[in-house]
Every structure is written in structure tokens, then in C-alpha cells.
Structure 1
């Protein structure tokens, strides 16, 4: 690395301890980026909820944990919902600690999709950067992202263009994709295994459509992920013949990739505009082609006819047909795409370049 290493303070999501799975894809993103940045020689301080596990043992990584009540997720809020911070809230405590630690750092990188850190950005001396993890879900968040973009859009980065298109940005979006520790994913050449589905078990993930496909084909669908909405999970299971769904739960990466890699296809059925699609890339890294709705991030990740098949969103018949056809694809193409586009090394390089660009003074100041 030609430039001097950076000292960065990273602030985790205020929804669940790292390693619990409750933070969803943000946990995987943060862990991958930590490893990638450490590999590039940077000094990191990670501020995370109490009970969090360090993504990577390293003398260059210091973990600070903070207690408090989890922040409600914007993902399940009404579009007109106001900002809510609970008593003894974890979110302000995370940021109180992060700003106290940031005096000696070059920048602070925020992973949470929350109003408070966005609002703080033009009001504090420390340079704050935000890797936006979700799409438009609430008016107050849309407004805050738009306001910050007008102040200095260099402080914002997005995973995909489909995600960035949800927001009112005055300039082209900074896209950094995502990254994965490919050493943790083994390529598996077999193409005759079961069908798989992975993600938080919640209505916006569309598990019922994948279950319907498996039922129509008379097959079992392996399902990995936290059952976030238990009533929804039970409704999906009741809607298909007994035995159609085999619940595998939330697994750490090593166990997940061993099981997922045996699948002949991953079915991805988002009912909303996914910002990226981590499970899509995890499957591809194992050599598993993906059948997905052409909606949001997955529509940009899957190379139609090469690493998977894309179908019209919510067309279950088309999804079923593609699931039958997808086994003919060459699985090595799936792994090759991930190596070229979504390794943790490539991801860390993109994020580092974004932060360095944002730290360059503009017209005599940061903004």
C-alpha cells in the first residue's frame, strides 16, 4: 500500500451483538471489511453492542463494547414513522463512545441505517462516513440522506446502483459493492443436490414463493436464517405439504457454506428492493447458481445465463421453470465472478479509496 495506513473507528449496527445474526447482512459486511482493511495494514477500533465477538483477532483491531436497549429497525417501520430512540438506547451510547474515541482517528465509518449518525455528520468535527445498508423505507431517513448528500455526498457510499436509485442524490452514487472472505467458502462441483433458500425469515424476503416452487417440484427446500417473524414462518410452512421445508436455522459461515455448497441452486425471492444480496454471493462463492427475482441488488449480481437465471419479480411459474433449467449452468463461472468482483480484498480497496477521496479538502474544507 503506497499511502499511509488509516486509523478508523467503525461503528456497528445497534441491532444485536456481532455474531448473533440479528444484525442481518450488516454483520457479514462489517466482518468482511474488517478483515480486508486489516490485511491492508490499517488500524481499527470497532464500537459494537455488548456481547459482540471480534471478527478477527489482531493487534491492529481494538473492540469496544457498549450496553443498552436495541434500536428498532427502520425495516419494519411505516413510511411516515417518526424517529424513535428507546430509553437507555444503544444507538446514542454507541455514538457517544465512538466520538470519544475518534479524536485520534482519521475517520469514523458508520454501518447502521439510522437517523442519528447521519444528522451528526455536519455537526461534529470528526469526519463521519456512512455505508448505507438499506433502501428507502422511511421518509425521515430519505430526507436525512438527501440532506447529507447535498452537504457533502462524498460521505455516503452504497452497495448497488439499484439501492442508490432509491434516494435523491445530486451526483452519481459512490458504489462499493460488498466483500467476502473467499477462504471461508469452498467451491463444490456437484450439481445434483437439494434446493436452498437463505435469509432472515420475514415477509419482505418472500420465502413463500421459494416454498411453492419446491412443493410444485415435489422437493425439500433447505432454509437457513433467523426466524425473525415466527407467525410468518408458521404460515409459510402451513401453506405447503408437510416436509417441504427443512429448517436449518442461523449458522456461522463455515457450517453454512458446507451445507449451502451442496445445493444445486439457491432460490432468492425478495419482495422488496434489496440493497445488495449477501446470500446470493455466498451461494456463488460455493459454486451454486442462483435463481432470483430481477429486483434490487440481486438483479445486478446475477449474470443471467452464466451464474444464474433472473425472472420477472413475483412470477412464481417463471421461478419454477428457471429452477428446473439452472442446473445446466457451469458452476465454476459462479466462483470466478465472486473472485473478480466480491472478495474482501477488492471490497476493502473500494472502501479505502472512498474514504481517502472524502478526506481530501474541498474549497479549503472537508465540505
Structure 2
């Protein structure tokens, strides 16, 4: 099979969130980058995601089927929450339709969802599937793997750290690091202020970034979706002021301008970040990182582009800010392009697609399946 042959790729994302700006999270941003890049290379992309996704990210869509239970079913006291049922129905419909469509529908299915059904039902597909592991192991996905035994899908993780966390459950896990488009994250002039951006949830640690910024005496700019309202009101909103500014949920161009205008970006995860897409995006803007040494972040940040300290050490992180702010912004950008570039990621995925297609063809030829 020619490596430059146009492929038909079904990208499976979240049924809850559209693949559009401003992004609900890093997974949605990742799928957006990948989808657009595949299309630019001449591949056909069909997207499964919530309504309202960017039309420039897809050639066609697989519609999310809503679930409307009957009055009797709604009244069942043992019924699962409606949101759970909606997710279950959406992915059950998707996988049943893909199984019925047969091998001619797509060359490959690339699963990015965190739902259990695509993995559990992968053996029913005649189309080869690749699953990207964006998170540490979850009970639901471990259960699905227990049912499927990993048959029907190959697996890649977004970092070596994440791959290692899955290896007790998934025998073969390759690593393809997430990538960002440098054209979308141009180098900024920098400044004296600090940035923090991402989902506003406790495990992302924006409240710790506020502590660090106030220790350094620098203004902090915060941006991102409020994913946990109670946390935001108690830990963030109550502490806003002239020195701590919340900009809301910005689209990508506005966010790039904000990050590029800052001296450094704070990365303060209170969990093991599977990759750290905000880190790669900040580096692309030439804005160095001062952060905690957790999860996949140390795989991205080296001495040319940031400073990392032990998790939870606010005083050490405050000291690291001043060091990071002195780094050469051109060298920071170079690190992003070399290590987190979009082209490298997409080329790795396309090679993986071709490998899976060839292996699937060989298996069908061996077993006599048409």
C-alpha cells in the first residue's frame, strides 16, 4: 500500500463536547489539530463529536444519536442517570453502525473518546482501530479491556508516563506525543506578568498558581473554562483582583496573544498530567514554563525552556519563575517546534494507520475473510 495514498479516517471524540473553539479541554484541542492537519494532507476525515464542531475540521460527520427514554423507563427507580444513558446510547449506536458498515466504510477508525464502548466493541469491527490513551487508567476502560482483551484496537499513549501507567492493563502501548501547530501559537514579545490557562478544576491547581504569583509579586492572568463551578467560586473568584485577572474562556488566537505577552506560564497540576498540552502551547509562544515535575510534563520541559520543581513546593516554584523568565524566548520556541510540532505527530499517526491497514489486510487474507 502506498504511504501517500489518501485515507478515509473516522475520528471518534466526545459525544458531549464539540471540536471547536474555545475548546472544552486538551482532548478536544488535540482532535481539532489532528483533523485539520489530516485534511490538509489530502485525507478524508469523518468526525464523531458533539453538534457544533468546526466544519473546517471534517469532511463528514457521524451524528450523535440522542436518547429519549419512554415515560415508563424514566420512572424506573433503578435507572442510571440520564447523562450516563445518553453517553451509552450515543456510543452504542456509533459502534453498531460502524460494525454494520463493514470494511469498506473507512480505512481506519481512530478512537479518542474516554468511553468504554468503543474499546469493548472493537472486536466487532472489520475496520482496524487505533485508540489514543489521553488519561491514566480508569475503571470503565479497564473493564472494557477485560472484556475485549485488547483485541480489535491498537493503542498509543500521549506520553511515556501515560504509556507506563497503562502497561499493566494493555500489553503493547506505543507513544505518540501530542503536537501543536506553531502557526497558531506565534512567538510573543513577553513581559513581566505570568499566565495560567486550562480547565478550572481542583486537580489543575489554578489556586496554587495564585499563591505562587502573589509570592513573586507578579500579576497573574488566568484563562480557561469553568469546569467545576463550586471550585471556581471558592478558590478562584474570591481571590481575583488587580493582581489576579480572569479572562474567561478564550478562543485560541486570543489565548495565544495573552500567553505570548507573559514572562512565563505556571504549570501547577495536582495530579499526574498525562501530557500537558498547555505546556507545549506556551513554549510555542516562546513563553517558558515554571511548573511542578509531574506526569508527562518533564518529557516536554528541559533546561532550555523552563524550570520544574517538586510537586506542591510553592516557594521553590516562585523562585523558579524568576529563573524561567530569563530564558531566551527563541530557544523556548525552538524546543516546542522540535519536540511538540504538529507535523511530527501527524506523520507518526499516518504511519501507524498504514501499519494497521496492512496488518488488517494480511489477517483477512490469511483467514480468507473478504
Q: TM range, normalised to the smaller chain? A: 0.7 to 0.9
**Does structure 2 conserve the Cα–Cα contact (< 8 Å) formed by 1:50 and 1:67?**
no
SS in 2 for 1:44: strand
Q: Is the 8 A contact 2:21 2:251 kept in 1?
A: no
8 Å CA contact retained: 1:292, 1:310: yes
How many Å separate the matches in 2 of 1:255 and 1:354?
34
Distance 2:53 2:36 in 1: 16
Are 1:259 and 2:232 an aligned pair? no
1:310-367 deviation per Cα after TM superposition (whole angstroms, max 9, x unaligned): 1101111111110122111111111112212222221110111122222333795279
Which 4+ runs in 1 deviate beyond 6 A? none
- Does 2:144 match 1:144? yes
Q: Does the aligned pair in 2 maintain the 1:149–1:156 contact within 8 Å? A: no
The answer to whether the 8 Å contact 1:21/1:27 transfers is no
Equivalent pair of 2:134/2:158 in contact (CA under 8 Å):
yes
CA distance in 1, matches of 2:63, 2:140: 28
Shift of 1:147: 6.3
Alpha-carbon distance between aligned partners in 1 of 2:51 and 2:100, rounded to the nearest angstrom: 17
- Match of 2:363, SS state, is coil
Corresponding residue SS for 1:272: coil
**Match of residue 360 from structure 1:** 358
1:45 is matched with 46
Change beyond 3 A, Cα 1:18–1:100:
farther
2:334 matched to 1:336? yes
Is 2:196 the counterpart of 1:201? no
Render the CA deviation track for 1:79-107: whole Å, top value 9, x for unaligned: xx99x831474333444555566642111
Aligned residue number for residue 311 of structure 2: 313
- Of the two, which has the highest radius of gyration? 2
1:68 alignment partner, one of 66, 69, 79 = 66
Q: Distance in 1 between matches of 2:225 and 2:237?
A: 18
- Aligned-residue offset at 1:68: 2.9
Asked if the contact 1:11–1:98 (Cα under 8 Å) also holds between the matched residues in 2, the reply is no
Counterparts in 2 of 1:78-97, with a 5 A limit? 85-87=84-86, 89-96=89-96
User: Is the counterpart of residue 348 in structure 1 residue 346 in structure 2?
Assistant: yes
TM-score (norm 2): 0.85
Q: Which residue of 1 aligns with 2:74?
A: none
Q: CA deviation at 1:291?
A: 0.8
Asked if the contact 2:24/2:225 (under 8 Å) is kept, the reply is no
Q: Which 5+ residue runs of structure 1 have no aligned equivalent? A: 70-80
The RMSD of aligned alpha carbons is 2.8
Question: Residues 243, 268 of structure 1: CA spacing in aligned structure 2 closer, same or farther, 3 A cutoff?
Answer: same
Deviates more, 1:221-230 or 1:177-186: 177-186
Please give the TM-score of this superposition, normalised by the length of structure 1. Answer: 0.86
Number of the residue aligned with 1:125: 126
Shift of the 66–362 alpha-carbon distance from structure 1 to 2, 3 Å rule, reads: closer
Shift of 1:298: 1.2
The DSSP-based 3-state class of the residue aligned with 1:197 is: strand
